Amino acid sequence: MVALQIVWHFFPVEPPVGQEGLPGQAEPFSVLAAPFLFAGGMIVANIFYLLGPLSEIVSYPRDPEVFRRRVFALGLWFSVALPLLVPAIAWGYFIKIQIFGA
């Protein structure tokens, strides 16, 4: 919150013409929903975190070291690709709309 206040201080944003309110004023729903969405994200992250050990228990690999390295690499690349996937999908929809229309 302190960092956000500093940014708003140095980069003031005026509300659009015809709208009242202070710059950066949040809606009550977003203030109430944000902690629950964050907690939901943490639950999903922990489920993915547990998939590695769970997959080893379920599959019972012949060579656990090789299996662990492969699963770790797969999880690492998945975690790197996931934040890039959402903008890529949004960009694809944007291009589709630009080419074919709405």
Cα gap 23→43, rounded to integer Å:
32
Q: Which two tokens stand for residue 77?
A: 């690349």
pTM of the model: 0.53
Q: What is the pLDDT of residue 18?
A: 58
How confident is the model over 32-47, as a mean pLDDT? Answer: 84
Cα gap 96→85, rounded to integer Å:
16
Spatial contact of 75 and 52, defined as CB atoms under 8 Å apart:
yes
Quick: pLDDT tens for 40-97: 888 888 888 888 889 999 999 999 999 999 999 998 898 888 888 888 888 888 888 8
Element (H, E) at 34: helix 28-59
Query: Of 21 and 48, which is predicted with more confidence?
Result: 48
pLDDT band at 22 (very low <50, low <70, confident <90, very high): low
Q: What is the pLDDT of residue 26?
A: 60
Spatial contact of 71 and 52, defined as CB atoms under 8 Å apart:
yes
